[in-house]
């Protein structure tokens, strides 16, 4: 009984999306502004984008950030998948409450606390701080997000397929890699991307856990923003927004297509069985 | 297949068989248990070392004193040589906590943070609920695109989204330009560097965290319940309050906690939008650490913040755990 959209829901959606998108669109639009004053339009120009590619400091920071994000996302994918499997496939075990607490707490833990505590650990261990310690920090907090995504995917999976593989003699590890991984692949992709963007965005935890040499892009942007808005920051922000938007759109369309194919296959597989059922 | 290849393949097969034979020597249950323990141990150890242990260090450090050294604090336990006998001396220093409780600046920081986070959470819920509800009413073929649009800002940089508001809110910014052009104001409004900007920043940044859990719980509501209510003569508005709202409650709680807890410790938003007049505890911790280099005091700040957040965090854990079991 879904009637057409009422005026109220239409308005709620229009206002909600305007609130979410107008600031971002303004930011992108004014990155093409000729003027050095960010809020006064003076004609179309690409000069700030040109300036980006001559800014060595910024390019170096971008390179550090990119490598950090790839390493952190990959590490978090492995750990988060293990945690997701433990939470959904292994029933009760001693310490399960503590385990799930450790997995989910980073989702809500204020970043200043996570950052400070990790820094104190690295100092206590006397590890020199830099890209490696930042990667450990990012893996630790992104694992929680991957675990949530993977666990959601595993929970909706039909377990009888895994059970069938094991009944036919496949070892649990083989069953996992041959049966489970392909079925949760979209979730794994989404988890990796999420961890990647979290690492790409992080300012607070990276500021605590970095050393004197390694500066990430958010740290560079933050140090510039504190001095005021500049069109160059608008330009670099627009590039980041564009890249993330394209990545997420491609991934989500891929997810949707694979989901639809899975449902179609399931229907097709169920059809002959349904025909055999006596009426 | 050449002879050599054949030999190599059979060699590999031979090796494979002997490995399998050795494996078979272990009873099935033992192998299963080993695998299980390994599976649990890897993430458990990682999180234990890099998430749990650091809190204990923070706790320890909060009882030490700031010192001009590297690392800049005094040890709380040290070996001392007194009159020839060597023993371990513990020095528990409570001055950090005394300062945090007695100094009105820190008290105000905590209260302000809790207040700002609570009000922002309520506003986010008031804005997020209609959006999430409207999303469940949209025709299926539009829903995917609209959901994507709601999630997309969640993926784009937090810092950049906060930065975007500076150009809007500052005195010569877009909002004041618009209001002046409409003739609503003659003097530009001072919004940036006030708490209004902090509220706005938190609501804006955390809105997706509210909409998604709300949508998830609203979407699960069986339409036939609403039909039954209508058949029995219940008016739609009453049905909404009696059926939809209670069934959406888990989403309301989850969304509110996802906004409230991190908002209390928020640093970027009060720092960039609130200016020097806006005092929130995340900012206080940051400046004690980076500007004053007082590691023990910032540890004390973190410990009290964590104590304040223990109840909501445990509540959130319960909710998550129930979802994995149920």
User: B253 and B174 in contact (C-beta within 8 Å)?
Assistant: no
Task: Specify whether B45 is located in the same domain as B113.
Answer: no
Q: Tell me the mean pLDDT in the region A210-233.
A: 88
B227 & B146 share domain: yes
Among A34-38, A92-96, B120-124, B308-312, the range with the most confident prediction by mean pLDDT is: B120-124
**Whether residue B317 sits in one domain with residue B176:** yes
* Chain A residues inside the 8 Å CB shell of B223: 1-2
**Residue A275 resides in a domain:** no
Q: What is the CATH number of the domain that holds B199?
A: 1.10.3720.10
pLDDT at A2: 47
Contact A240, A150 (CB under 8 A): no
Nearest chain A Cα distance for residue B143, angstroms:
12
The count of other CB atoms within 10 Å of the CB of residue B53 is 17
In a domain? residue A217:
yes
Residues B315 and B173 in one domain: yes
Structure tokens at A79: 């750990």
Q: Give yes or no: residues B197 and B315 share one domain.
A: yes
Query: What is the residue-level pLDDT of chain B in tens, covering all 326 positions?
Result: 455 555 455 555 555 555 555 555 666 666 667 778 888 889 999 999 999 999 999 998 888 887 766 677 777 777 777 777 777 767 777 888 888 888 888 998 999 999 999 999 999 999 999 999 888 888 888 888 888 888 888 888 889 999 999 989 988 888 888 888 888 888 888 888 899 999 999 999 999 899 989 998 898 888 888 888 888 888 888 888 888 888 899 899 999 999 999 999 999 999 999 988 888 999 999 999 999 888 899 999 999 999 999 899 888 888 877 766 54
Question: What DSSP letter does each residue of B285-304 carry, written as one string?
Answer: HHHHHHTS--HHHHHHHHHH
Please report the pLDDT score of residue B1 as a whole number. Answer: 46
Contact of B134 with chain A, judged by CB distance below 8 Å, is answered with yes
Q: Is residue A1 over pLDDT 50?
A: no
Domain count, chain A: 1
The reported pLDDT for the residue numbered B31 is 64
B229 in a structural domain: yes
Residues B26 and B159 in one domain: no
pLDDT recorded at residue B12: 55
Q: Cβ neighbours of residue A122 under 8 Å, at least 6 residues apart?
A: A129, A133, A209
Residues B108 and B38 placed together within one structural domain of the fold: no
Within-domain flag for A208: yes
Query: d(Cα A122, Cα B137) in Å, to the nearest integer?
Result: 50
pLDDT of the residue at B300: 92
| Residue B261 included in any domain | yes
Span of A71-80, A94-103, B65-74, B307-316 with lowest mean pLDDT: B65-74
ipTM score assigned to the predicted complex: 0.85
Structure-token pair, residue B69: 């050294």
Residue A82 lies in a domain: yes
Residues B175 and B240 in one domain: yes
Number of helical (H) and strand (E) elements in chain B, helices listed first? 16, 2
Residues A218, A149: contact at Cβ < 8 Å?
no
* Share of residues in chain A with pLDDT > 70 (%): 95
Higher pLDDT, B278 or A203: A203
Note down the domain range covering A148. Answer: 55-259
* pLDDT (0 to 100) of residue B85: 75
Query: Do residues B50 and B181 share a domain?
Result: no
Angstrom distance (rounded) from CA B197 to CA B108: 19
Domain membership flag for residue A158: yes
> Mutual orientation of helices B28-47 and A96-108 as an angle, nearest 10°?
30
Question: Residue A91: what pLDDT?
Answer: 74
The answer, for A9 touching chain B at a CB cutoff of 8 Å, is yes
Beta bridge partners of B77: B90
pLDDT of residue B326: 41
The pLDDT of residue B22 is 59
Query: Number of residue pairs across A and B with CB atoms under 8 Å?
Result: 257
Residue A162 lies in a domain: yes
Query: To the nearest whole angstrom, how far is the Cα of A13 from the nearest Cα of chain B?
Result: 6
In a domain, A74, yes or no: yes
What are the pLDDT digits (tens) for A115-160? Answer: 999 999 999 898 988 999 999 999 999 999 999 889 888 888 888 8
Is residue B76 within 8 A of residue B92, CB to CB? The reply is: yes
Residues of the domain holding B282: 95-325
pLDDT at A35: 82
Give the phi and the psi of residue A142 in degrees, each rounded to 5.
Answer: -80, -25
Interface contact A1, partner B, CB < 8 A: yes
Q: Which residues of B touch A35 (CB under 8 A)?
A: none
Claim to verify: residue B23 and residue B141 sit in the same structural domain: no
Longest CA–CA span in chain B (Å) reads: 94
CATH of the domain at A91: 1.10.3720.10
How many structural domains compose chain B?
2
What are B18's two structure tokens? 């002997």
Residues of A in contact with B286 (CB under 8 A): 112, 204
**Mean pLDDT for all residues in chain A:** 86
Which pLDDT value is given to residue A244?
Answer: 85
**Mutate which: B59, B125, B160, vs A, most A CBs within 10 A:** B160
Q: What pLDDT shows up at residue A176?
A: 86
B142 touching A (Cβ < 8 Å): no
Same domain for B316 and B233: yes
How near does any CA of chain B get to the CA of A178, in Å?
17
Confidence tier at A279 by pLDDT (50, 70, 90)? very low
Q: Chain B within 8 Å of A137 (Cβ-Cβ)?
A: yes
Q: Does A151 touch chain B (CB under 8 A)?
A: yes
On the question of a cis peptide bond just before residue B71, with omega within 30 degrees of 0, the verdict is yes
* Residue A236 located in a structural domain: yes
Same domain, B102 and B206: yes
pLDDT: is A255 or B25 the higher one? A255
- The verdict on B36 touching A (C-beta cutoff 8 Å) is yes
């Amino acid at each position: 009984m879904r009637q057409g959209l009422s005026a109220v829901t239409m308005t709620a959606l229009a206002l909600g999306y305007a609130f979410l998108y107008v600031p971002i669109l303004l930011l992108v639009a004014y990155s093409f502004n000729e003027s050095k004053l960010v809020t006064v339009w003076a004609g179309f120009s690409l000069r700030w984008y040109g300036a980006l590619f001559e800014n060595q400091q910024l390019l170096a920071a971008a390179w550090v950030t990119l490598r950090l994000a790839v390493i952190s996302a990959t590490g978090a994918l492995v750990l988060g998948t293990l945690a997701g499997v433990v939470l959904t496939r292994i029933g009760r075990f001693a310490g399960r409450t503590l385990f799930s607490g450790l997995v989910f707490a980073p989702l809500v833990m204020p970043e200043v606390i996570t950052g400070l505590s990790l820094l104190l650990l690295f100092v206590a261990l006397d590890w020199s701080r830099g890209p490696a310690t930042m990667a450990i920090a990012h893996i630790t907090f992104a694992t929680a997000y991957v675990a949530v995504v993977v666990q959601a995917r595993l929970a909706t999976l039909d377990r009888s397929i895994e059970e069938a593989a094991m009944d036919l003699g496949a070892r649990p590890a083989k069953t996992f890699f041959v049966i489970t991984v392909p079925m949760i692949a979209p979730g794994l992709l989404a988890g990796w991307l999420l961890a990647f963007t979290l690492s790409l965005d992080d300012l607070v935890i990276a500021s605590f856990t970095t050393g004197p040499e390694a500066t990430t892009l958010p740290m560079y942007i933050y140090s510039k923003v504190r001095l005021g808005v500049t069109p160059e920051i608008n330009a670099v922000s627009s590039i980041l927004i564009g890249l993330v938007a394209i990545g997420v759109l491609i991934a989500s369309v891929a997810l949707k297509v694979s989901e639809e194919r899975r449902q179609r296959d399931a229907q097709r597989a169920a059809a002959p069985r349904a025909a055999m059922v006596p009426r | 297949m050449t002879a050599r290849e054949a030999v190599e393949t059979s060699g590999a097969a031979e090796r494979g068989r002997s490995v399998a034979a050795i494996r078979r020597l272990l009873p099935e249950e033992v192998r299963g248990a080993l695998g299980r323990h390994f599976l649990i141990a890897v993430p458990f150890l990682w999180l234990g070392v890099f998430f749990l242990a650091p809190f204990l260090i923070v706790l320890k450090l909060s009882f030490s004193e700031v010192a001009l050294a590297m690392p800049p604090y005094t040890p709380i336990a040290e070996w001392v040589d007194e009159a020839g006998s060597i023993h371990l001396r513990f020095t528990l220093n409570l001055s950090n906590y005394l300062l945090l409780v007695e100094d009105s600046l820190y008290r105000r920081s905590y209260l302000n943070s809790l207040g700002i986070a609570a009000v922002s959470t309520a506003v986010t819920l008031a804005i997020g609920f209609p959006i999430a509800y409207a999303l469940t009413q949209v025709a299926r073929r539009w829903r995917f695109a609209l959901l994507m649009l709601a999630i997309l800002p969640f993926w784009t940089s937090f810092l950049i989204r906060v930065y975007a508001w500076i150009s809007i809110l500052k005195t010569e910014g877009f909002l004041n330009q618009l209001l002046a052009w409409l003739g609503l104001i003659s003097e530009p409004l001072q919004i940036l560097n006030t708490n209004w900007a902090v509220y706005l920043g938190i609501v804006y940044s955390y809105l997706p965290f509210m909409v998604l859990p709300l949508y998830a719980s609203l979407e699960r509501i069986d339409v036939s319940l609403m039909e039954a209510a209508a058949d029995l003569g219940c008016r739609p508005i009453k049905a909404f309050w009696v059926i939809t709202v209670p069934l959406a409650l888990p989403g309301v709680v989850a969304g509110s906690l996802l906004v409230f807890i991190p908002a209390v410790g928020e640093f970027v938003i009060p720092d960039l939008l609130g200016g020097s007049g806006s005092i929130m505890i995340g900012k206080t911790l940051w400046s004690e650490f980076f500007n004053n280099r007082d590691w023990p005091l910032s540890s004390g700040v973190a410990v009290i913040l964590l104590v304040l957040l223990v109840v909501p965090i445990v509540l959130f854990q319960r909710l998550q755990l129930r979802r994995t079991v149920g």
